[in-house]
Amino acid sequence: GAVVSQHPSWVICKSGTSVKIECRSLDFQATTMFWYRQFPKQSLMLMATSNEGSKATYEQGVEKDKFLINHASLTLSTLTVTSAHPEDSSFYICSASQNSYNEQFFGPGTRLTVL
């Protein structure tokens, strides 16, 4: 149990375009989903926390208008990187938990490369 999937697993896009990444909890209902960004050889940095049906809470320094997060159902959250630039190239990982204080189960990540 506790499987989280992400789609796509990798994406290459041109600078200025927008990219949507999906995060799904396959066998449980995720009240809370988290989005992380990981640069090469670095740790995971939390970008935002989203609760189903509510607006996401963004960490300091993360632009909410650039990284649009939607958590419309208990099994799906999406992260849209708008007007992507090469510096947005990174490994984006989501996690999901049944409620805010339960364990987080991580997806396999999405590697974004912006040319």
Partner 1 sequence: GQQLNQSPQSMFIQEGEDVSMNCTSSSIFNTWLWYKQDPGEGPVLLIALYKAGELTSNGRLTAQFGITRKDSFLNISASIPSDVGIYFCAGRQTGANNLFFGTGTRLTVIP
Binding-site ranges for partner 1 (CB under 8 A): 4, 6, 32, 34, 42-46, 49, 59-60, 91, 93, 95, 97, 100-101, 103-109, 111
Q: Write down the least CB distance from residue 52 to partner 1, Å.
A: 13
Residues 6+ apart with CB under 8 A from 98: 28, 29, 30, 31
| Shorter beta-carbon distance to partner 1: residue 80 or 104 | 104
Q: Write down the least CB distance from residue 90 to partner 1, Å.
A: 13
Beta strand 76-81 with 67-73 is antiparallel
Contact, 31 vs 99, CB < 8 A? yes
| Shorter beta-carbon distance to partner 1: residue 54 or 83 | 54
| Shorter beta-carbon distance to partner 1: residue 81 or 107 | 107
Half-sphere exposure of 110 (CA within 13 A, CB side): 26
